[in-house]
A and B are shown apart, each in its own frame.
Chain A
C-alpha cells in the first residue's frame, strides 16, 4: 500500500493546439480532504475529467492504490472507487429520489422489470449512509439544490467510493447548507473516504481542507498543507497578482439623502423597511437567502408590487411600478442572476451595453445613430476594462468577471443616481472581484449612491460605509462596518 491513494503525475492534455494541462501533478492521501483551487479555465475541470476517465491524457500517468495506469476509461474509474459529483449533479429531475438512487444498481443487475420493494430497500440503504432524511417518493426536480446534492452524494456512496470528487459543490448553496455539507464531508472522511474538493472560494478552502493544490493556466503553482496558507498567498497563487484590500472611505460630501425609503412593504417578502442613503455612500444590505433582501431590490426597481410605504428621490415622492419608472427616477439594478436576468448572452457585447439607453442614442424616426452608439460602447469597454478583442462578439465569449462588467456598464450608461447591485461578484474571479470593488468605490467617491446586497461578508465590510442586516423580512440591525466583525453580523443574520 503506497502513501497515496491517487497520484496524477505530469499530466499533459492539449485541445486543438491549446495546452489545457501543461504537466500537472496531484497527490491525494487516503481519507484526506484535499482542495483543488484555481480561477476559471485553469485546468481544474480538465484534470478531473482525466482522473474520471472522460479524457485521455496526452502524456503522464495516473497511479491508484499503487497501480499505474497511462489512461483509464470511465468504467474503470468507477470500478476503482472514484466518484465525481458534477455541478449539475447528473440526476434525473423527473424521477423520484428512490428511482434516482436505485437506477444504476437496477441497470447493473440487468433487471428488466420494476420492483418497487427492492428499489425502496436500495434507496433506504443509500440514504442511511449519511443519515439524510428525505421522502423517497418526492420528485428530485422539486428538491432544493442542497437536497439534490445530498441525493447525488448518496448515489456516489453506493459504489463503494474511495475518492469522491466534488466540482464546486457550494456554488448554489446558502451558508447554512454549506455548513451541513461540510459536516457530511467530515463524516465521509471518518469513514476513510478521500475527498477532492474543487473550489475557488478562499474561506471554504481554509475551513474544510487539510491540503491544497492550486493551478493557474494549466500549471501547478503550489501544493501543501492548508495551515501554511494565508489569505495573501492564496490570492497570489490563484491570480499571479498581488492585491491590496482597500477599505472604502467615503470622500464625497453631501448633506441631503438622494434616496429615502419609508415603511416599504411587499406582502410575504418584507415589511416596514425604512432607510435613507446619501450620495457618495455605499450601503450594504445582507441577510440569508430568504430574508427579503432580493425582493427589496426588485421592489425598488419596480419589479415587485408594494402594498405600502413610499420611495423618495431627492426628497420627491416617486411612483415606481416598472423598471422604466425606476430608470426615469435614476435607479439602476445589477440583478442577482447575471445569466438569466442581466445579460442577453448570445447577443453582442455592444448591444448589451447600450440597450437600456438606446432611445437616447437615436435620432429622427428612432434610427440608431451608429457613431454615437460606437462611441458609447468604446467608452465603456475602455472605462471598465472589458477584455474583448471586438465588442460585437457575443457575451458568451467572456468570463464571468467581464460579463459582470457589461451589466455594470449597461447601468452606468444610464447615469443613475442610485445603483443597486445584488451579489455583484458572485461567480466572478478574484482579479475581477477586486477590480469591481475598486470601480464601485470610485463611483461612490464621484457622488453616486450605491447599494450592495450580498452575503459575502468580507465584501460588505470592506466596501460599505453603512450596513443593514435583514432577517425574515425585517431590518434587524443597522451596523457601522468599521466597528463590526463577521461574527457579529452573522449573529444578527441567523
Chain B
C-alpha cells in the first residue's frame, strides 16, 4: 500500500472532499483557466467566504455537543445593525473613525454575540428547551429586534474607514516591472484564519475540546462523570454567538450596509456545510479540517460557476444540493458496504 492510498483510507470522508475539490479545480483549469485562476478571483473568494465561514465554525461546535445553532444569522444581522448605528453615532459629522474605534466596535460586537449565544445556552441547559427550538426562537427574537430598530430598511452611510480597513489587502507586492503596489491577503481572510486556529486549538488541544466531544456522545454519561454539562453548553453557544457576530461584522464591511434580512440563506447553508464536513448531527464526532474543506469546496463551486456567463447563478443552489446529497450517499455506502450478503 503506498502512502497515498494509506492517506485516503485514514479518513475517507475527508479524502472524498479533497478529491472533489481537486476535480473541480482541474475542471476549472481545463475550461476557464484564464478567468478562474486570477489573483483577483481568489481574493474575491477569500473576502466573501469568511461571512458564512465564521458562522459555520460556531455551528460546528454546537453540533458536536449534539445540538444545533440556528440563530447565527439573527445574531450576525442584529450585531451589524447595532454596530452600524453605533459607528454613525461615534463618527458624527466627520464620517470617519479611528483604528482604535474599530477595535472598540469589534469588541462590542463580540460582547453582543456572546450575550446572544449565552442566552441560547441558558435556554438549552437550564430550561431544557431542545436546541433546535431555542435557537430558532432566539433567531426570530433577534431578527425581530433588528426589524423594529430599522423599520426593515438598510442601515447605510456608515463611516467609510470601517469598510476600507476590512476590505484592504495586506502583504503588498509589486506585480510585474511597473505598476502600483498590490496587496495579496484580504483582511476578512485573516479574521477567518484566526478564528479557525482558535477553534482547532480548543478542540484538539484543550480539556474543553475533549469534554465537548464526550458530552456530545452522551450528556447522561457526562453528568455521571462529573462534567459541568450546563457550563459547557453555555460556553459553547456563547462562542458560536461570538463567531456569528464576527461574521456579521464582515458582512457589514463587505456590503457597506446592514439589514435585518441579509444573508438569510446562511442559516441552513452553515448547517449543511458542517454536516458535509463530516460532523455527526447526533454529536460527539467531527473535525475542523472537514468543515474547512467543505467551506472551501462550496466557495470554489460558487466562484467557478460564476465564470460561466451562460449559466445562471441560480444553479448554484441546485449544484450545491446535488453535491451534498452525493456525499451523503457516498458516506452511506462507505459505512454499509454492499458485500455478498448471505442468502437468507
Which residues of A does B touch, CB under 8 Å? 53-56, 73-74, 301, 303, 322-324, 326-327, 333, 335, 340-347, 351-352, 355-356, 358-359, 361-362, 365-368, 410
Contact = CB atoms under 8 A, between A and B. Distances in A.
Interface residues of B, number: 24
B257 interface: no
A417 B284 CA distance: 32
B319 to A, nearest CB: 33
Interface string B204-235: 01111011011001101111111110000000
Contacts of A56: 342-343
B226 A346 contact: no
Given A323-B223, A323-B225, A340-B221, A74 B213 contact: no
A361 B210 CA distance: 12
Contact of A362 (B207, B224, B226, B228): B207
Contact of B208 (A53, A343, A344, A366): A366
A492 to B, nearest CB: 30
Contacts of B217: 344-347
A150 to B, nearest CB: 29
Contact of A410 (B206, B207, B225, B343): B225
Contacts of A368: 205-207, 210
Interface of B: 205-208, 210-211, 213-214, 217-218, 220-228, 284-285, 342-344
B214 A347 contact: yes
A74 B225 CA distance: 44
A358 B221 contact: no
A341 B214 contact: no
Contact of A355 (B205, B225, B344): B225
Given A324-B228, A340-B221, A362 B206 contact: yes
B342 A55 contact: yes
A343 B220 CA distance: 10
A366 B214 CA distance: 16
B207 A335 contact: no
Nearest to A410: B225
A303 B223 contact: yes
B231 to A, nearest CB: 10
Contact of B210 (A73, A74, A343, A358): A358
Contact of B207 (A342, A343, A358): A358
A366 B284 contact: no
A333 B217 CA distance: 20
B221 A359 contact: no
Given A323-B225, A327-B226, A367 B205 contact: yes
A410 B225 CA distance: 8
B226 A326 contact: yes
Given A54-B344, A73-B344, A367-B205, A342 B224 contact: yes
